[in-house]
Amino acid sequence: MKRSEQHIASLLEPTINALGLQVWGVEHISQGRYSVLRVYIDSANGISIEDCEKVSRQVSAILDVEDPIAGEYNLEVSSPGADRRLFTLEQFEEFTGSEVDLRLKTPLEGRRKFKGQLASVTGDKISLLVEGSEYQCPFEAIEKAHIVF
């Protein structure tokens, strides 16, 4: 997550936790004058449409007061889904052994895109097995990562 997304997640976390849910991640996508703010929520019991509506109302009020994003944006509240995006080192650890689709900010050994098994997390490095080769990716170098469903 970018620093601004981390800031927004920390603003929203206490309220979302108070609703019995957790913040899975926050994604801010700028599209010219307009942008989208996606807040992913999760719980052990799964996420319902009612959960998303409840969080959307609460989060809207917080964002109106705190105003962390300049300009217009649409707020979307969603479950992470089966092909969930991974935002934190803890989430990578939780899904060790799973197949992931990963894109880096800068090339590693000549490539930016990797699809393989998440082998381990050591410190701030993600170990990925791709076609018999192991790659060590620094967490801060990861642009985006998803579980392959």
pLDDT of the residue at 72: 84
**Is 80 exceeded by the pLDDT of residue 16?**
yes
Alpha-carbon distance 95 to 26, whole Å? 19
β-partners of residue 64 are none
**Average of per-residue pLDDT across 83-95:** 95
Tokens coding 2: 């970018």
HSE value, Cβ hemisphere, 13 Å, CA-based, for 10: 8
- The residue with tokens 């800068």 is 106
Residue 42: closest CA among 84, 100, 8, 76:
84
Mean pLDDT of the chain: 93
**Is 90 exceeded by the pLDDT of residue 3?**
no
**Is 80 exceeded by the pLDDT of residue 7?**
yes
**Is 70 exceeded by the pLDDT of residue 1?**
no
Alpha-carbon distance 60 to 148, whole Å? 31
Q: Delineate the domains of the chain, giving CATH numbers in brackets.
A: 3-78 (3.30.300.70), 89-147 (2.30.30.100)
User: What are the strands of the beta sheet with 34-42, ordered from one edge?
Assistant: 22-31, 34-42, 72-78
**Is 90 exceeded by the pLDDT of residue 9?**
yes
Over residues 107-117, the pLDDT tens digits come to 999 999 999 99
pLDDT of the residue at 112: 96
Over residues 19-44, the pLDDT tens digits come to 999 999 999 998 777 899 999 999 99
